[in-house]
Chains A and B, each alone.
Chain A
Amino acid sequence: MSSDYEISDDEHEYYEYDDEDEEMVDAEDGSASEIEVDGFGNDFKVGVRQERKIYEVDYSALSQPEVERIMQADVDHISSIFGVEPPVAAILLRHMNWNKEKLIEKYMDNASAVAVAAGVELPPREPTPPPSKSSSSRGSMAGPQRTTRRLSADKGSDSKGKRASPPIDAEPFVCPICFDDSQTEFLSLLCDHKFCAGCWKEYITSKVRTEAECMITCMAEGCNIAAPDPFVEKALADDRETWSRYQELLVRQFVACIPHLKFCPYPSCTYTVSCPAAATKSSLTQIVPIVTCGASSAHVFCFGCPIDADHRPVVCAVARMWLQKCEDDSETANWIKSNTKECSKCQSTIEKNGGCNHMTCKKCKYEFCWVCMGPWSEHGTSWYSCNRYDEKASIEARDAQTRSRASLERYLHYYNRWANHEQSAKLSMELHAKTEKKMEEMQITSALTWIQVQFMKKAVDVVFRCRMTLKWTYAMAYYLAPGNQKELFEDNQRDLERAVEELSELIEAPIDPETIMSLRQKVTDKTVYVQKRNEIMLEDTAKGYLEGRWRWNTHVEGFDTD
């Protein structure tokens, strides 16, 4: 099953991007030119993948085995220069958070101190303990020296027994954790703290599974000796699932230590993205590093911050500020998010069920804009002053009360539009299903083939993605300082928004078999136009970051205040 097809039967040639998970894997076999990195790139141009767009970031996706190879290279390097076994080198690297230079420097300075701290070497013997203590600790079962006091009950019986019969091996060894005398297999690390194989397995499984911990140390109290990978593998025995979870945790620990790597945040995904261009904090004032992990084109996330979505065109710091504000003000703003509103003419309840903002009251036929509730007639032709907030109101506000109301109104203006695009985008996902049905109908009622009806699906996708851009432009506009630049930004925003609403309206209209050919033409044309507007929006903001053109109305982390 493949969704890879090409439309070339009309003047707007574009080929479809892959949006099935398995397609990305296929793309590895030499057809790299067809990989659509972010879903925006090639839509209305033909041919091989062109150069990176100004709003795109250079990055590569790595599978778990690929990351493991990078780790192995580091391990082999350390292993050869320190002259230690690779599993020991791996522990040393993990201990030093994979900072190879720092490890080499510290190790050259004092190898033993590093080895002890990492748990690959026993600590130097403590200054001669009092004679009574040393004799009793010799008789200790398997417990480390520090348990003398804490395990006094065990100890008492033990040392007595040992003193009575000097040859230590005479008594069979019993695991000091489970006291199960039927156990016969015992394992210990270089510290010689012996425990039965069953307890080791339980312990490592619990560390890996419930604590997501991959730095396993000895079970004895206060013992810092680390378990090398072969020991872990042996102790886990036939539990391959925990072993592979352990290996994944090792990769995660490595990736978390390397600034230019990030693990895919999507559940149960094991891919990593390498993005050196976004590895520094200062780079995040210049670019919005949106990446896809390589396992699935749906795994879109930001390399620079914890947002698991494409938040272009707004930079990470501003996006996070905005989300924080929305969270803080969620109660005030909650009512707007609601899916129903009252018709401002007849007060009957109106439910929004598509993504389009052009609403018509079923009862009184009043046409209005869902966002501002104003009559649609004011929007239709002389579109769209609906995106710009009239700052005058807040400037003119004199007393504190009016000011605070004005500032809330200002916030609501942006939030309203933000939430609306989010809501509409969600609804247009539902529209996907409806569209598929429509496409089937079209094939029956018209002479169009399956490939020829793909324009609908394409249009729905484009609307969805452009609503995401629009959504974040409102977060950006909220924080932009007033002035020429902001006005230009809002002009672009308005043009994109108008185009999206028009396309949205087209795809939600009922299909008349008579006019399907002209509808197809209209939708295809509009889709191309919307993408162009989206390009302009993203390109211009990206350029603005590089030129340092954007000024904020508040302090934004990483930006100079002026």
Chain B
Amino acid sequence: MAVSSRRLQKELMDIKKEGTPVGIELLKADDFSKWILSVEVLGDTVYKGEKFALMFRFDNQYPISAPAVQFVVDDKWSAPEHPICASILGSEWSPVLSVVSVCVTIQSMLASCKVCPCLTAHTRAALLTGRGFSSA
């Protein structure tokens, strides 16, 4: 078993066993190449009550190298967006970080309105209206 698969298997087991932190939900994890999670912004901010869908893509270098993460809007999860430019996904990536910890960081980035500049007006509008994905 490849390191990336074993590691994701372990993360999946932990999520199933321990659950996810408040406001974070695992929506889709059919394989070890692409996962989708939703992030709800907590607290009193402009995004209050909004849910954002995040798509994670992993290569076999995970977790040595960071996953590619982007916001997605429609049901096919195929919005052609730029990966999110968060520093923990770049120079500050550490292999001990996990999918859940990345979600927690993005959650707090959204809460402090530090939104990735790559989040286009189109995507933002779609996300803000809550259109596009349903949380089961």
Contacts of B7 in A (CB 8 A): 177-179
Given contacts A150-B97, A150-B104, A219-B95, contact A179 B18 (CB under 8 A): no
Q: How far is A198 from B97 in the complex, measured between Cα atoms in Å? A: 17
Tell whether, in the assembled complex, residue B98 and residue A151 are in contact, meaning their CB atoms are under 8 Å apart: yes
For A, the interface residue count at a CB cutoff of 8 angstroms equals 28
Contacts of A378 in B (CB 8 A): none
Q: Is A436 an interface residue (CB 8 A)?
A: no
Q: How far is A176 from B98 in the complex, measured between Cα atoms in Å? A: 10
Tell whether, in the assembled complex, residue B101 and residue A150 are in contact, meaning their CB atoms are under 8 Å apart: yes
Scan B13-50; emit 1 where CB is below 8 A from any A CB, else 0: 01101111100000000000000000000000000000
Q: Is B118 an interface residue (CB 8 A)?
A: no
Tell whether, in the assembled complex, residue A179 and residue B96 are in contact, meaning their CB atoms are under 8 Å apart: no
Q: How many contacting A-B pairs (Cβ < 8 A)? A: 78
Smallest Cβ-Cβ distance to A156: which chain B residue: B18
Residue among B20, B65, B94, B104 making CB contact with A149, cutoff 8 Å: B104
Contacts of B120 in A (CB 8 A): none
Q: How far is A206 from B94 in the complex, measured between Cα atoms in Å? A: 13
Tell whether, in the assembled complex, residue A152 and residue B100 are in contact, meaning their CB atoms are under 8 Å apart: yes
Q: Is B61 an interface residue (CB 8 A)?
A: yes
Q: Is A128 an interface residue (CB 8 A)?
A: no
Q: Is B3 an interface residue (CB 8 A)?
A: yes
Residue among A156, A179, A222 making CB contact with B6, cutoff 8 Å: A179
Scan A170-214; emit 1 where CB is below 8 A from any B CB, else 0: 000000111110000000000000010011001100100010000
Q: Kindly provide the distance from the CB of A51 to the nearest chain B CB, expressed in whole angstroms.
A: 50
Q: Is B113 an interface residue (CB 8 A)?
A: no
Q: Is A313 an interface residue (CB 8 A)?
A: no
Q: Is A294 an interface residue (CB 8 A)?
A: no
Scan A212-250; emit 1 where CB is below 8 A from any B CB, else 0: 000000011111000000000000000000000000000
Smallest Cβ-Cβ distance to A219: which chain B residue: B95
Tell whether, in the assembled complex, residue B14 and residue A206 are in contact, meaning their CB atoms are under 8 Å apart: no
Scan B75-87; emit 1 where CB is below 8 A from any A CB, else 0: 0000000000000
Tell whether, in the assembled complex, residue A180 and residue B14 are in contact, meaning their CB atoms are under 8 Å apart: no
Residue among B11, B63, B101 making CB contact with A147, cutoff 8 Å: B101
Q: How far is A195 from B64 in the complex, measured between Cα atoms in Å? A: 12
Tell whether, in the assembled complex, residue B14 and residue A153 are in contact, meaning their CB atoms are under 8 Å apart: yes
Contacts of A179 in B (CB 8 A): 6-7, 10
Tell whether, in the assembled complex, residue A206 and residue B65 are in contact, meaning their CB atoms are under 8 Å apart: yes
Contacts of A119 in B (CB 8 A): none
Nearest 8 Cβ contacts at the A-B interface: A150-B101, A221-B94, A179-B10, A177-B95, A153-B14, A153-B18, A202-B64, A178-B3
10 contacts between A and B (CB under 8 A): A149-B104, A150-B97, A151-B100, A152-B101, A157-B14, A177-B7, A179-B6, A199-B95, A219-B96, A222-B94
